[in-house]
Amino acid sequence: MTTAKRSPPFRAEHCGSLLRPDTLVQKRYDVAAGKADDSELVPLEDKSIEEVVKLQKDAGFSTISSGEYTRHMFWGTFFEELNGMKELQLGVLKGYDADMFRDYAPDVKSFMESKEIPNAVTVCVDKISHPGHSSNQREVDIMKKQLPESEWKNIKITLISPSWYHFRYRAGRAYPKEVYANDEEYFEDVAKAYQTELKFLHEQGIRNVQIDDPNLAYFCSEAMLDGWKADKGNDKTADEMFDAYVKFYNKCFERPEDMHIGIHLCRGNYVGSRHFSEGAYDIIAKKLFQDLDVDTYYLEYDTPRAGGFEPLTHLPKNKNVVLGVITSKFPKLENKDEMIARINEAGDFIAKGSGQTREEALDRVCVSPQCGFASHAEGNALGYEDMRKKLELVRGIADAVWPGQP
């Protein structure tokens, strides 16, 4: 087993979002409601990020994030700040209403069933282009102050998936027809925006970017696939759409050679530790692992809803997988020995597919919680100390499987 110093991903990983202090959550709500000035939020964010960086360091992590404390939700404001995108109240413009959504998209379906349809949506209203500044600039600036320059390359910046404001809308509803004639034209401009954002981040010394993507995992859901097939408005089959997304993503992720790109596939992580979909990776595994141009896959494996490790036989020798065997949803701690056994089991499947030994296969494996602890403002159904214990457990598992490695 190699003991060489690693670049991202590290043996002990997490998915970026960490539980926010209650004071920070409330202050952001107060600012949104006009009860507090935005200037009051800045020092509180700074202080909270300083504390959460220390938490990660104390837990023995080399991957360091801001906890996404400069955001209200995991997707941030990347799309919202692009030229040509606009946040609208539902019904403000003709044609924008609840029927614009795919009601079988797992998260949309869940919201509609619980009558939690959002009162605002972000949509394309004009040609899309990058605004010339990074929506992540403040987060980057804060993080660079927290760490020595030698560690800037380990800072994890998370970006929302390129299909975030496409998949949820019915075919042809993600953009006005007078702006884009088809998906290909829309994808081309979004891809240019991502390329520009990655270039900005790289120029700032960032080398570790994680794409948060629930949408690709939704193609593992039989319920979603049934809904897609029944939707007569679709001009592509689900397989064709998945292929189009992979091609689109690859264009978005064109990047300098020394920039690490990981993608986190999730089945939902919402208020009350709720998930939105189920389904094993088997359906998409070969295309996901072999055709998508990323370095690392952060995969959910904390419950049976994600299936078994068999799909990992398709993982190429030049790619990594971070096994999310620890749940971020609930406080109960997993059994360390059982988790080590699961990692070894995954290693056996990877080895089988690549013709390697287990030891060789495990050199491309890391461990983490299955998702962030606070994809949304309030976070999951556990406390700050519970989160600390979960991170320490991840570190302990990594030390047992890969002793001496960060």
List the pLDDT tens digit at each of the 406 positions of the chain: 343 457 899 999 999 999 999 999 999 999 989 999 989 999 999 999 999 999 999 999 999 999 999 998 889 999 999 999 998 765 544 556 778 889 898 777 666 666 555 556 799 999 999 999 999 999 999 999 999 999 999 999 999 999 999 999 999 999 999 999 999 999 999 999 999 999 999 999 999 999 999 999 999 999 999 999 999 999 999 999 999 999 999 999 999 999 999 999 987 665 554 545 677 999 999 999 999 999 999 999 988 877 899 999 999 999 999 999 999 999 999 999 999 999 999 999 999 999 999 999 999 999 999 999 998 888 888 999 999 999 999 999 999 999 999 9
pLDDT of 375: 84
Listed by start position, the domains of the chain span: 22-75+126-401
pLDDT of 349: 98
Nearest residue to 375 (alpha-carbon basis) of 74, 9, 72 = 74
CATH of domain 22-75+126-401: 3.20.20.210
pLDDT of 111: 63
